[in-house]
Structure 1
Amino acid sequence: MEPFVKNNHSYLSIDSWMRRFPKLTAGFTTKNGGTSKGYFKTLNLGFHVGDDVTVVSSNREKVSELLNFPLSSWVGAEQTHDTILKKITKSDRGIGSDSYENAFKGTDGFYTDEEGILLTLCFADCVPLFFIAPERRMIGIAHAGWKGSVGQIAKKMIDSWGQEGIRPDKIYVAIGPSICENCYMVDQHVINFVEKSLVEGAAFTYNLISEGQYSLNLQELNKQILLASGVPEQNILQTGLCSSCDHEEFFSHRRDKGRTGRMMSFIGWKE
């Protein structure tokens, strides 16, 4: 069953989590329901892609109203395809919510155990990862393109939570809408990194298509890394949605040749 359920035309919710935890808000936006024009139409939430910043701000306001989560409680990052994580507290609220300039620099993942904070990251093909350890009220999100995936940002989140005393079998993860293996071709250079990141015996996550060209399943790569990190398979939800295949719902950096908007992953406990 698809874990990301469409609530309205502007976002999808991790339905089973939100039903279980009524104060939780968690999901992923679509490209629809905003006021951006041209390449960015309509619900672009990325400040850094060349769209009119005031329009992006109004799109973010719209999402904040839909989620009933004030923009002043959001945090955002200047994502760099690295594996740096930051633990967020209430004193960080608002950083990166209304401009790219004041976002957390060089950060690709957030986590917190405090209420009243919405963790947000931007996407247009990379894999959004969502984490929750309900017993400890810990939540997190990470941005995993091929560099973040082979850098094992998923494992880094599990390890960081381990330092907080949270065991991997108490962590639940959702793998969100991103580019599928049929749409994602990479070269030998990338595959060399993929092979180094996979534990021995892990399922193959790529296929040779032609000389030096491979299709890569980034979602499966992240799933294998999570399993190797001790997260039980039954704790992992995986989407069937592809950002590149679905023109109607999603922006795609690969499909749109770099001129496109950004969707947003979000997770937070309401106060």
Structure 2
Amino acid sequence: MSEVEVFRSSILDRVPHGFLGRRGGVSEGEMWGLNTGYGSGDDPDLIAENRRRVVEAVLPDAQLATVHQVHSPTVVYADREWPHDERPKADAMVTDRPGILLGVLAADCAPVLFADREAGIVGAAHSGWRGAFGGVNEATIEAMERLGARRERIAAVVGPCIAQNSYEVDESFRERFLEVDPENERFFVIGPAGKPHFDLPAFALHRLIRAGVGEAETLRLDTYADSDRFYSYRRSTHRDEPSYGRQISVIGLPVR
């Protein structure tokens, strides 16, 4: 059995967290590895075992709270692990409850993990381009503040996601960003085929810094380019695969 691979950030030091890829799981076939997405069509028993391994690798005995992600700026408070068919529709969670592991799934979108260590408050956001553009990360910060966090103490990390070299978009996509702020031009380059390429992790990081968090960074890991480590919706689409796996990123507070 291969070991679960966990990517961590030094600015979230002392807070149980991890950005996980596909290594160390039990799923087979095109979704081999640590697939955690029930919506993928994978065997539910294998997904449950993969999720168990995630918890064991990051915060043993914790409850894993996930939501029904809909590419929104909606944030919910998590005080328990919701049954699969009762998950709220949202794209971010916050908690101050020890023993709750917040988990967001992605397969090219950017997972963002947040922590105010001093206040004992954490957050997790599923931040694809729609979420980042719509303010899901700012909404997560505001929800943490309502629990007693202070944004200048919050550390936030953008995890593995599709990188600019891999993220070709059309001109209407680019124009949507420029209409809101012409300075968003900095997040686009023209690729080899003459079409714009979007820098999702840089855009998410920019929004976090502009929101006033104390520390922020991106791990600079490209889900599309590294098929041995990560699932990728776009890569699976380009390969005409019938479905695709989802990796998970998690953060929580230990029980003292």
Q: For residue 5 of structure 1, what is the aligned residue in structure 2?
A: none
Tell me how far 1:183 sits from its aligned partner.
Answer: 0.3
One-letter code aligned to 1:222: A
TM (normalized to structure 1)?
A: 0.84
2:211 aligned partner: 229
Matched, 1:188 2:168: no
Aligned residue pairs: how many?
250
CA distance in 2, matches of 1:188, 1:9: 42
In the alignment, what sits opposite 2:58?
A: 67
Structure 1 unaligned residues grouped into runs of 5+: 1-7
How far apart in 2 are the matches of 1:188 and 1:238?
Answer: 26
User: How far apart, CA to CA, are the structure 2 residues paired with 1:129 and 1:213?
Assistant: 27
**Deviation of residue 203 (structure 1)?**
7.2
| Partner residue of 1:79 out of 69, 74, 90 | 69
Gaps of at least 5 residues in structure 2 are: none
CA-CA distance at 1:196 after TM superposition? 4.5
Select which of 58, 77, 81 maps to 1:94. Answer: 81
What is the CA distance between 1:62 and its match in structure 2? Answer: 2.4
CA contact (8 A) 2:113 2:158 kept: yes
Amino acid at match of 2:20: T
Number of the residue aligned with 1:10: 4
Amino acid corresponding to residue 74 of structure 1 in structure 2: L
Separation of aligned partners in 2, 1:192 and 1:162: 33
For 1:133, the aligned partner's letter is D
The whole-number CA distance in structure 2 between the counterparts of 1:123 and 1:263 is 6
Contact 1:244–1:255 under 8 Å retained in 2: yes
Q: In the alignment, what sits opposite 1:103?
A: 87
Give 2:4's aligned amino acid: S
How large is the RMSD of aligned CA atoms in angstroms?
Answer: 2.2
Q: For the Cα contact (< 8 Å) 1:187–1:212, is it kept in 2? A: no
Deviation at 1:95, TM superposition (A): 0.8
Report runs of 4+ in structure 1 exceeding 6 Å deviation: none
Equivalent residue letter for 2:67: A
Inter-CA distance 212–148: structure 2 relative to 1 (3 Å threshold)? farther
Percent sequence identity over aligned pairs: 27
- 1:3 match: none
Q: Say if 1:228 and 1:246 are closer, same or farther in 2 by CA, change over 3 A.
A: same
8 Å Cα contact 1:25-1:268 kept in structure 2: yes
Q: 1:245 to 1:212 in 2, by over 3 A?
A: closer
Q: TM-score of the superposition, structure 2-length normalised? A: 0.89
Look up the SS of the partner of 1:136 in the other structure. coil
Aligned residue runs from structure 1 range 94-173, under 5 A = 94-96=81-83, 99=84, 101-104=85-88, 106-173=89-156
How many Å separate the matches in 1 of 2:200 and 2:236?
A: 19
The residue correspondences of 1:237-256 to structure 2 (distance < 5 A) are: 237-256=217-236
SS at match of 2:56: helix
Instruction: Note the alpha carbon deviations across 1:82-112, whole angstroms, 9 max, x for none.
Output: 11100122xxx2214xx3x2322x2100011
**Whole-Å Cα distance in 2 between the matches of residues 175 and 215 of structure 1?**
19
| 1:262 aligned to which of 232, 246, 249 | 246
Give, in whole Å, the separation in 1 of the partners of 2:72 and 2:9: 29
The superposition leaves residues 172-214 of structure 1 with CA deviations (integer Å, 9 ceiling, x where unpaired) of 111101000000111123223323555x756711123379831
Q: Find the aligned partners of 1:68 and 1:201 in 2 and give their Cα distance.
A: 41
